[in-house]
């Protein structure tokens, strides 16, 4: 009985548009590029009940983050010292990348997203950031949205139960700041 109840709760959570929509909205609302690391736990909400934990500096080179990998390749002399905080649950993962003591990127990963949730998130991104540039590859489709201050990369991969997806928000100043250091 306990296993059935847990399975039903997980099924509801994964397919519940309200929860997924709350997670998405709470993520993009965190893209305040003046946020500092000391304010991260105070500014996060309870959509993911876990506090934001720091990735130890000696583990950053192994940390799986698309934006971090790009800025690391530009950081020739290691003068840029990124700091990452993350939150995770069974179905969602979110991290906050700080550079020069300012929030520079936020990413979130959905373990599984139904078509309905995908459409809600996609339409919300479109209403906030305008029409995307879309690139389709063999397994992944990438939608890139841009405004004058923020770029959003929405990567999805079809799966038999829906979509696995990642969303990256980053300040348009990020790469310029890395190169100028």
**What DSSP line would sit under the chain, residue for residue?**
-HHHHHHHHHHHHHH-HHHHHHHHHHHHTT--TT--GGGHHHH--SSS-SPPEEPPGGGGGG---HHHHHHHHH-TTS----EEEEEE-SSEEEEEEEETTEEEEEEEEEEEE-HHHHHHHHHHHHHHH-SPEEEE-SSEEEEEEE-SSEEEEEEEEEETTEEEEEEEEEETTHHHHHHH-
Determine the Cα–Cα distance for residues 181 and 70; give it in Å rounded to an integer: 15
Phi and psi (nearest 5°) for 68? Answer: -60, -40
Give the pLDDT of residue 58: 87
pLDDT in tens, 69-122: 777 766 556 666 788 888 887 777 888 988 888 888 999 888 788 888 888 889
Q: Could you tell me the residue ranges of all domains in the chain?
A: 2-180
More reliable by pLDDT, 45 or 148: 148
pLDDT in tens, 133-168: 999 998 899 999 999 999 999 999 988 888 888 999
- HSE-CB at 35 with a 13 A cutoff on CA atoms is 24
Give the pLDDT of residue 48: 66
Predicted structure pTM score: 0.79
Percent of the chain scoring above 70 in pLDDT: 75
């Amino acid at each position: 009985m306990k296993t059935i109840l847990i399975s039903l709760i997980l099924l509801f959570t994964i397919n519940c548009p309200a929860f997924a929509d709350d997670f998405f909205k709470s993520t993009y609302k965190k893209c305040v590029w003046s946020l500092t690391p000391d304010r991260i736990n105070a500014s996060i909400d309870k959509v993911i009940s876990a506090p934001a934990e720091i990735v130890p500096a000696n583990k950053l080179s192994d940390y799986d983050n698309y934006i971090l990998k790009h800025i690391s390749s530009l950081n020739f002399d290691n003068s840029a010292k990124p700091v990452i905080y993350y939150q995770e649950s069974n179905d969602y993962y979110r991290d906050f990348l700080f550079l020069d003591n300012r929030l520079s990127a936020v990413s979130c990963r959905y373990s599984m997203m139904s078509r309905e949730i995908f459409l809600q998130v996609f339409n919300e991104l479109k209403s906030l950031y305008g029409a995307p540039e879309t690139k389709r590859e063999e397994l992944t489709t990438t939608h890139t949205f841009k405004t004058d201050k923020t770029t959003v990369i929405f990567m999805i991969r079809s799966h038999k139960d829906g979509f696995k997806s990642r969303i990256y928000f980053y300040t348009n100043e990020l790469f310029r700041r890395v190169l100028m250091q």
